[in-house]
Structure 1
């Protein structure tokens, strides 16, 4: 579907329409440009790319978890993790949601977004590697135990959506010379809203689990 070249609004499919219903601009030129515009990437291809990115996110995290961490580095990472956990207990959902959303928004940026996203996930794996060294557990078992909880999947789905859009925008910029970027930017806005909802829900669940776990330890 074409968009108005003046205000960017979606135009009606009525072939007899001559003007944009939003701003009144002539729409014949918009339809002419739409035909020359790069066709949007199909939903099936998007789903395939998203699935591949989600799998890659899990692989990158696993690689970080299996990476070697010396004793000093592990101690520093665990101390930082414990400090963050204490702050989370005080601030609550706002910190979890704000922190995750900040990372997620960066992942939407073409070129640097996907790289940043995979770095964040690799760093998450490094934290698991440090924790496993401290408690003497298998890092992959720690990763699997985390993925049992729904908030982890909500976060990974959000990050995968963001990275996928970052890759698609990069493709439109490099391969198609910015053709289709405007339409894809509208998809980005929709996915940002979706990711925000998923991350907020994930933050609420994660905070509830932290509170429950803390209460159990205190009662013991």
Structure 2
């Protein structure tokens, strides 16, 4: 059985992640009119207000529901790329709008996003979703649809866990500010090694190699 977390799949995820970050930066750097900035900031505030004023658990669920809706669409072959590009572009324009309305350089606004622990989990989750949707198309052409369906289940589970954890970290940041974000990074780093070990454990090739070494 092929490796679920194979090299070319990981390379594709990283490439999509790099594209995502590039879109954020390029869209944030583009000039924006006062009217567009006001409209985007208003929408962002309404979204934020929708998860504030409720309990911690409801904040987590509210953020998670919004993000998983985007990721679910990104898993759809072909359509996923449309959603991915539209979402990344909108996020970048929101960064530009925040910079324009606050008179803060867009570089600092973008840096504040990239410095957030929850943001990188979301970035990676979205990259996994759109990558896996693309691999489904490839597998259909190469007659590997059964295996790719299994990897899709793994990818869906991974994205669910990552976005739920991201929502938890974002809620901590919203509740406690900078100290919450520092705590978020600590929790994220603490979870990184177990996640890596799990990825290794589900690799059939690595498992087979370990068994052969044990027999030797």
Q: TM-score normalized by structure 1?
A: 0.74
2:41 to 53, 66, 78: 78
User: Which runs of 5 or more residues in structure 1 are unaligned?
Assistant: 2-38
Q: Tell me how far 1:182 sits from its aligned partner.
A: 2.2
* Larger relative contact order, structure 1 or 2 (CA cutoff 8 Å, min sep 6): 2
Match of 2:148 among 166, 184, 192: 184
CA distance in 1: counterparts of 2:108 and 2:138, whole angstroms: 36
Partners of 1:40 and 1:180 within 8 A in 2: no
- 1:201 corresponding residue in structure 2: 165
The CA RMSD measured in Å over matched residues stands at 2.1
Structure 2: unaligned runs, 5 residues or longer: 181-216
Answer whether contact 2:4 2:151 (CA < 8 A) is retained: no
CA displacement 1:80-111 (0-9 Å, x = unmatched): 11111111113411110000011011111111
Q: How many residues align?
A: 175
1:56 corresponds in structure 2 to 19
Matched with 2:117 is 150
Q: 1:129 aligns with which of 74, 77, 96?
A: 96
Q: Is contact 1:172-1:180 (8 Å) kept?
A: yes
Q: In terms of Rg, which structure is larger?
A: 1
TM-score relative to the length of structure 2: 0.75
Deviation at 1:63, TM superposition (A): 1.9
